[in-house]
Amino acid sequence: MNFHKLRLMAFDQLKLQSYYRSRAAQYDEIYLKVERQSDLSKIRDWLPPKFYEAHVLEIACGTGYWTQYIAPRASSLFAIDTAAETLSIAKGRLDIQSVIFQIGDAYDLPKMPENLNAAFAGFWFSHVPKSRIHEFLKGLSYRLKPDSRVVFLDNLYVEGSSSRITDEDSEGNTYQTRQLANGSSHKVLKNFPTELEMHDAIKGIGHTAHWTCWDYYWAFEFRTNEFVCNI
Ligand SMILES: C[S@@+](CC[C@H](N)C(=O)[O-])C[C@H]1O[C@@H](n2cnc3c(N)ncnc32)[C@H](O)[C@@H]1O
């Protein structure tokens, strides 16, 4: 990859992080959308049992919306996010000793417990540029025991409910232009991968994959392979 492209990618990452820092206080409004309540209620029942007694790594936990449902079922949970602002809301929401929140980058994971045997990321995968998917998945699987369960939950694109796609780059990443309550406008990378693309993404990384769809959301779960350096 050339230097110009690397710089653009780093800049996009910083813009995404800054957008979520500014959005932290209003982030949970997304969970109040009326038309999505039935799906959310189904997912609140569906998701937590998957982590029963597991040692869970949560990537990009945000305000801890899903952490609050998963943590009571898990044996332990280690959650990271780059935004101190969202982490502080998450910490206020959960007071469980077995949960650790820490600032951390999904592409350069910090030191963490060695017994992790499950992972969850909600609404994160859609923000990973196509060119960084392998890097992200490889880094993740390196931190997990072989045969760990991984679950990604994310948005389907639904006309009239999702923010409109306003741009697409040369590698096929799509972008939305989002407005915050303070009047600022942000161009945010947001992809809507298909089931086939998800199966392709985990080649060499995982097995026993399964795609589940609701009206507004998808989930993709798989088990990790034993980590091999050269995948
Ligand atoms: C769409 S929010 C998802 C929050 C939460 N998982 C949820 O489902 O409600 C995306 C989160 O990714 C975080 N983020 C952005 N870049 C990140 C990175 N490189 N590593 C870890 N977290 C990151 C943002 O701060 C934000 O909290």
State how many domains the chain has.
Answer: 1
Distance between alpha carbon 199 and the CA centroid of its chain, in Å? 17
Q: Any idea what DSSP says for residue 108? A: B
Residue 80 CA to its chain's centroid (Å):
10
**126 C-alpha to ligand 1 centroid (Å):** 10
Contacts of residue 29, defined as CB under 8 A and 6 or more positions apart, other chains included, come to none
User: What number does the ligand 1 atom closest to the CA of 124 have?
Assistant: 10
Structure tokens at 157: 């694109």
List the residue whose alpha carbon is closest to atom 13 of ligand 1: 60
Report if residue 11 sits inside a domain: yes
Q: Which of 20, 40, 63, 78, when mutated, tests ligand 1's pocket best, judged by the most ligand atoms within 8 Å of its CB?
A: 20
Ligand 1 binding pocket includes 175 (Cβ within 6 Å):
no
Name the phi and psi angles at 99, rounded to 5.
Answer: -110, 130
The first and second tokens of residue 97, run together, are: 């000793």
Does any domain span residue 173?
Answer: no
**Domain coverage including residue 144:** 3-158+197-224
CA separation for the pair 199, 208 (Å, rounded): 10
Q: How far apart are CA 69 and CA 48, in angstroms?
A: 6
Residue 16 beta carbon below 6 angstroms from any ligand 1 atom: yes
| Tokens linked to 159 | 């006309």
CATH number of domain containing 55: 3.40.50.150
Among 197, 127, 215, 178, CA closest to 23: 178
Residue linked to tokens 């915050």 = 180
CA 94, distance to chain mean position in Å, is 19
**Token match 């009047």: residue?**
183
Could you state, in chain order, the average pLDDT of each consecutive group of 10 residues for the chain (231 residues)? 73 89 92 97 98 98 98 97 96 92 97 96 98 97 96 97 95 95 93 98 96 98 85 63
- The predicted-structure confidence for 143-175, as pLDDT tens digits, reads as follows 999 999 999 999 999 999 999 999 999 999 999
Q: Determine the residue of 30, 47, 65, 82 to mutate for testing ligand 1's pocket, defined as the one with the most ligand atoms within 8 A of the Cβ atom.
A: 82
- Does residue 103 lie in a domain region? yes
CA separation, residue 103 to residues 5, 42, 61, 79, 90 (Å): 26, 30, 10, 8, 12
Q: What is the pTM of this model?
A: 0.95
Residue 185 lies in a domain: no
Residue 22 lies in a domain: yes
Predicted local confidence at residue 231, as pLDDT: 63
Q: Does residue 184 lie in a domain region? A: no
Tell me if 82 CB under 6 Å of ligand 1. yes
Rg (CA), the chain: 17
- Residue 125: which residues within 8 A CB-CB, separation 6 or more? 152, 154, 191, 193, 220
Helices 84-93 and 3-23, axial angle in degrees (round to 10): 40
Q: What pLDDT is recorded for position 227?
A: 73
* Ligand 1 center to 124 CA (angstroms): 6
Q: Specify if 170 maps to a domain.
A: no
CB atoms within 10 A of CB 34: 7
> What sign has the CA pseudo-torsion 44, 50, 55, 58?
negative
| Ligand 1 midpoint to CA 16 (Å) | 9
